[in-house]
């Protein structure tokens, strides 16, 4: 029996072992989904803390309850930091970070280093699927030669797929199983294997003609959001100068039943995709002699938002006869969006750093982030403040950067001397509220 037919039968009969490499916000839900529907699952991660917690049946992601991990472990889910165990897996799904470097250029070292760590343990009859967001051509240009370097033929002995992750942490309307899955393969056999890999776990599969199409699809999704958020952020600045509430404008425009999608302004872009992914395409486009002006312009607007918020804070303090230097500032919400504990690329952190550089004494309150976490580029030795009237009154200003539903907004409004609202949570004008 050919490697293609054997693997296809294993995937369709759920006799395959699924390896998920990278057990973060994308990898862990995917591992739990495959375990839940009856596959044997092995999670692989370089972080021994994550491995230990999974083995103990403990979740380290807020919106995933530990009982789901415990149930999966009872059903056979295992986790390891030992990459040699990749040989046990029939499928290896890569869910690793793809950040930007300090020059705002793509850093795919996590993808290439992970692949290099797996190569010694690849064998015929496996499928490797990359889910990390990246520039068009990554799968063919970077993974294909690595996977084939031991003499394995992609499309015959081993199969290579690109299927971009689609996650919206904290959104109860969507989960891994219900979000349609785009699948592209390096060959037609690869694509068929990719469809078989995902169709048992995901309700709708969207096959495309190549890995490049799949890679570009993911970028278009996130660039669409980044550009529209950049547009409404720029509109916010114009509306503010004109004395118009941009949130009221967006709400009114959203009543149009066709031709308009509401996007709301904020303190900047956050999350693992939208602040980063557009620059993967702008970087790759230079190889073709193209300058993606529209994308780069929206990036400039969005990156300027934290400074805009801090400027509004300084104006508000100045009106009270205070300088930002020496003022006590409370930041409300440091996750990148409301009702989650995800800190990746959070604009709140950049705002905190700007305020510190200007001499402010800062604290934060976030019911989803009790202790400021370890981050690659940011460090604060802070714990979340409790929100009582007495505590709020000790601060010169409160900066609302992430509008969690758990906040008592009436208490904050009645207690704070000054509120800088970057999320439009307070719609009614008040003497102590400045829209930012």
CB atoms within 10 A of CB 271: 24
CB atoms within 10 A of CB 257: 6
Quote the CA–CA distance of 34 and 18 in Å, as a whole number.
7
Is 190 among the catalytic positions? no
Give burial (CB, 10 Å; 0-12/13-18/19+) of 142: middle
Which residues, in sequence order, are bridge partners of residue 234? none
Quote the CA–CA distance of 332 and 253 in Å, as a whole number.
28
Structure tokens, 377:
């580029």
Which is catalytic among the residues 89, 95, 190, 273?
A: 273
Contacts of 156 (CB under 8 A, 6+ apart): 2, 3, 4, 189
Quote the CA–CA distance of 38 and 12 in Å, as a whole number.
11
- Containing H/E element for 128? strand 127-130
Q: What positions carry a catalytic annotation?
A: 273
């Amino acid at each position: 029996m050919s490697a293609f037919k054997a693997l296809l039968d294993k995937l369709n009969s759920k006799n395959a072992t699924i390896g998920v490499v990278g057990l973060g916000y994308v990898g862990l839900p995917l591992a739990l989904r495959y375990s839940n529907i009856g596959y044997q699952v092995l999670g692989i991660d370089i972080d021994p803390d994550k491995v230990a917690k999974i083995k103990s049946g403990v979740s380290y992601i807020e919106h995933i309850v530990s009982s789901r991990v415990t149930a999966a472990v009872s059903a056979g889910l295992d986790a390891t930091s030992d990459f040699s165990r990749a040989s046990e897996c029939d499928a290896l799904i890569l869910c690793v970070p793809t950040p930007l470097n300090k020059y705002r250029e793509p850093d795919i070292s996590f993808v290439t280093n992970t692949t290099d760590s797996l190569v010694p343990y690849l064998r015929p009859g496996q499928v490797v699927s990359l889910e990390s967001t990246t520039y068009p051509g990554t799968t063919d240009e970077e993974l294909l030669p690595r996977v084939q370097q031991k003499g394995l033929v992609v499309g015959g002995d081993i199969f290579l797929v690109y299927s971009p992750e689609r996650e919206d942490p904290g959104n109860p309307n969507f989960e891994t199983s219900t979000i349609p899955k785009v699948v592209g393969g390096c060959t037609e056999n690869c694509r068929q294997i990719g469809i078989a890999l995902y169709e048992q776990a995901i309700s709708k599969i969207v096959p495309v003609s190549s890995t490049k199409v799949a890679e570009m699809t993911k970028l278009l999704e996130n660039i669409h959001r980044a550009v529209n958020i950049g547009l409404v952020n720029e509109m916010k600045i114009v509306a503010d100068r004109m004395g118009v509430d941009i949130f009221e404008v967006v709400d009114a425009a959203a009543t149009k039943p066709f031709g308009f999608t509401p996007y709301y302004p904020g303190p900047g872009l956050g999350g693992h995709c939208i602040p980063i992914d557009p620059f993967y395409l702008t970087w790759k486009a230079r190889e073709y002699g193209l300058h993606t002006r529209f994308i780069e312009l929206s990036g400039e607007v969005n990156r300027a938002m934290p400074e805009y918020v801090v400027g509004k804070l300084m104006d508000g303090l100045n009106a009270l006869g205070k300088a930002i230097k020496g003022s006590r500032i409370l930041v409300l919400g440091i996750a990148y969006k409301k009702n989650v504990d995800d800190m990746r690329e959070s604009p709140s952190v950049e705002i905190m750093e700007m305020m510190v550089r200007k001499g402010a004494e800062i604290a934060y309150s976030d019911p989803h982030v009790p202790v400021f976490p370890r981050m690659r580029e940011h460090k604060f030795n802070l714990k979340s403040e409790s929100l009582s009237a007495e505590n709020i009154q000790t601060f010169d200003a409160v900066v609302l950067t992430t509008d969690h539903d758990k906040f008592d907004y009436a208490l904050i409004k009645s207690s704070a001397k000054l509120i800088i609202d970057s999320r439009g949570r307070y719609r009614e004008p008040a003497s102590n509220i400045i829209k930012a």
